[in-house]
Chains A and B, each alone.
Chain A
């Protein structure tokens, strides 16, 4: 669900302000010791992440994020920086919020970090495309849970200070019914795209993958 960027004005100030502070802290920590070569590579892949968002997947401006593959290719820290940059550029276009740049970056970063961690354990065992697809699914699921938690807080918060929320439990239930199918669709779409991307890179430029070409022999239960 990280592909539905949270806009301005929907979240309580304490939430987006703390999200921004946390994102800036993570950004500061993750950029320490970065080389210009890494900056150039991340900039190029950040552009790709934005370009991938031009591929619409249906209603609600629903599109790919490539957070999972970015996490696998750049690692958790690099992908978080790319996620922050992309969220900032999207925010100045009115796609996602300016106040919510931090939260949107944290959601994208969670998806990328989750994918990077899962790929680390799956990479040596599975073929690259399957490892990429499963790690992307895990990352997207993690990002979706975080997105849903944040959106639920927004749903249950009063739109203005002092006002009450009408039947918050029912509102959360309706929101879940609306958002859950989109989330499941998103996880599937991102994973299948990641599968294709992993297969292509493993064949054409395996050096870009964290574990090179993957295992020499096909993994058990998989066709060669």
Chain B
């Protein structure tokens, strides 16, 4: 799952669709609006409109189907637990339970696949306490540095037989491997702290307002929002 993030992140920075050219704030507002409709949808038909838009947005961001399938697989698997537990013999309940989280997941895929992470996190960081906002950026950066190291570590463990034998031994080896990463993280955090000071850290990691710079491509986002609202009202009012 986490490895997908690297590919999604690359596509967010290198893509060239109209969504990539739109501002982060416009996309964020559209995503929150569609998500709100999906969560509060009074009927299955309105939810279907939101779900359809989720697919249109995700596919038009030129994200490969393989990647999309992987991103939506988690809510499908999780909802499966609820569907089995709440089986009432109708198709409407499972449809509601599946479509809501999958729609949310598609919207998240579209948003994160078309928006570089500083632009995506900057508006979120503004509403969080300052240390928590900074932590968003630092955690995301740290993940990529650690992923490569973790990959090498797991490969070495596997080659040296660390993942052979009973589950208890394999898990404790995994724990020791994670210990290596904890020590590395500690040393890395000290370097980051020193670098932040050397570069004149002002108390906020990203003070940029790039995410809120409106672009001509935002007209597409606005048009999509208006079309979506109209379709929802139309479907809701139709008997």
- Footprint of B on A, CB under 8 Å? 4-10, 13, 24, 27-28, 31-32, 34, 36-48, 50-55, 59-61, 63-64, 66, 69, 73, 81-82, 84-86, 88-89, 91-95, 97-99, 154-155, 159-161, 165-167, 171-172, 174-175, 178-179, 189, 192-201, 204-205, 208
Contacts and interface: CB of A to CB of B under 8 A. Distances in A.
6 contacts: A4-B78, A8-B39, A47-B139, A166-B93, A196-B171, A197-B176
Interface string B29-50: 0001001001111110000000
Contacts of B109: 93-94
B139 A50 contact: yes
Given A159-B96, A166-B88, A193-B175, A93 B139 contact: no
B77 interface: yes
Contacts of A47: 138-146, 185
Contacts of B91: none
A44 B141 CA distance: 8
A199 B176 contact: yes
**Size bracket, chain B contacts:** 35 or more
A93 B130 contact: no
Given A50-B139, A61-B78, A167-B88, 20 more contacts: A7-B100, A8-B38, A8-B103, A27-B132, A40-B138, A40-B189, A43-B139, A43-B141, A44-B189, A47-B144, A73-B182, A84-B132, A94-B104, A94-B112, A192-B172, A192-B175, A196-B179, A197-B182, A208-B182, A208-B186
B206 interface: no
Interface stretch (B66-74, B210-218, B231-239): B66-74
B142 A10 contact: no
Given A196-B178, A197-B175, A89 B100 contact: no
Interface in B150-206: 150, 154, 167-168, 171-183, 185-186, 188-190, 192-193, 196-197, 201, 203
Contacts of A81: 131-132, 135
A42 B78 contact: no
Contacts of B2: 50-51, 53-54
Nearest to A91: B108
B193 A37 contact: yes
B120 interface: yes
A79 to B, nearest CB: 12
Contacts of B171: 189, 192-193, 196
Contacts of A88: 124, 136
A179 B168 CA distance: 22
Closest 10 CB pairs of A and B: A196-B175, A9-B100, A43-B138, A47-B142, A200-B179, A46-B139, A166-B88, A94-B105, A196-B172, A8-B104
A161 B185 contact: no
A84 B42 CA distance: 30
Contacts of A171: 85-86
Contacts of B192: 40, 43-44
Contacts of A204: 179, 183
